[in-house]
Amino acid sequence: MQPVRGSHSRSDRLQATRLSLIGRLADWNEHAKWQEFFDLYWRLIYNVARKAGLTDAEAQEVVQETVITVAKNVAKYDPKLGPFKGWLLNTTRWRIQDQFRKRQPAEQQAPRDDRSDRGAAVERVAGIDGREIEAEWDREWQRNIFQAALDRVKKRVSARQFQIFECCAVKHWSAARVAETLRVNAAQVYLAKHRVGALMKKEVAELAKLERA
């Protein structure tokens, strides 16, 4: 029996979309998919690189090199070997290590394909270890999910509703302060907070599934 069109659950469609996104990243002609990938992850990669001790320019290069590496190797990614979150972390970590490696005199540089030596080089130069990077990655991953959800929700609601929600949930203003500052009544504040908040919860939940994808 053929399924009735539209009978698939929303979660099924989202899962198919996630797998399609990851699967199609290997196609350089999929510009829209690559833009979606970049928009979702660039901030995460950049922030972790900066907190690892890299400069702004170095962190930007890490973002670019990580995306390029993903493009070249995502077709080899096997979900059975671990979640995409962990695979992307390892890719980012290697690109961070490359940046620290570039700071060293040539005679001290480890071979490019020797990941263990490269990791040791990072520890010597930056005084960090893999566990610290992983912990920071987890923290930034959660912050990135919230920001990505915020960016998506912003496109779905009015500018005024988003402004009210941002003041309440992001800036942590009281409802009275929001109403006074934005010149709206209390009912508008609570309505926007409830409506946008509900959308945020859905987006965060959907994006969080990528952690296990």
Closest CA to 120 of 45, 134, 111, 137: 111
Q: What is the pLDDT of residues 107-157, one digit of tens each?
A: 455 555 445 554 554 454 444 556 777 888 888 888 888 988 999 999 999
55 neighbors 64 (Cβ within 8 angstroms): no
pLDDT for residue 77 is more than 70 = yes
Residue 40 and residue 142 share a domain:
yes
Residue 161 and residue 132 share a domain:
no
Task: Note whether residue 3 is domain-resident.
Answer: no
Task: Note whether residue 4 is domain-resident.
Answer: no
Please list the alpha-helical segments (H only) found in the chain: 10-24, 31-51, 56-73, 84-103, 115-126, 130-154, 159-165, 175-182, 186-208
Distances (CA, A) of 118 to 52, 93, 99, 114, 134: 15, 10, 10, 6, 16
Residue 54 and residue 111 share a domain:
yes
150 neighbors 43 (Cβ within 8 angstroms): no
pLDDT of residue 19: 53
Extract the tokens encoding 67: 């995306």
Residue 118 and residue 52 share a domain:
yes
Q: What is the pLDDT of residues 33-65, one digit of tens each?
A: 777 788 888 989 999 999 888 999 999 999 999
Which pLDDT band, with edges at 50, 70 and 90, does 197 fall under? very high
Task: Note whether residue 209 is domain-resident.
Answer: yes
Where b means 16+ CB within 10 Å and e means fewer, 69-91 reads: bbbeebeebeeeeeebbebbbeb
Which residues lie below 8 Å from residue 190, measured CB to CB, with a gap of 6+? Answer: 175
The last residue of one of the domains, among 125, 148, 171, is: 148
Question: What is the pTM for the complete model shown?
Answer: 0.64
Least trusted range by pLDDT, from 42-46, 76-80, 140-144, 189-193: 76-80
Residue 127 and residue 38 share a domain:
yes
Residue 131 and residue 65 share a domain:
yes
The larger pLDDT score, comparing residue 95 to residue 128, is at 95
Q: Report the 10 Å Cβ neighbour count for 191.
A: 14
The last residue of one of the domains, among 132, 148, 164, is: 148
Q: What is the CATH number of the domain that holds 184?
A: 1.10.10
Task: Note whether residue 5 is domain-resident.
Answer: no
Which pLDDT band, with edges at 50, 70 and 90, does 20 fall under? low
Residue 70 and residue 113 share a domain:
yes
Q: Which domain holds residue 81?
A: 10-148
Residue 15 and residue 45 share a domain:
yes
The residue with tokens 């930034």 is: 140
**150 alpha-carbon distance from chain centroid:** 12
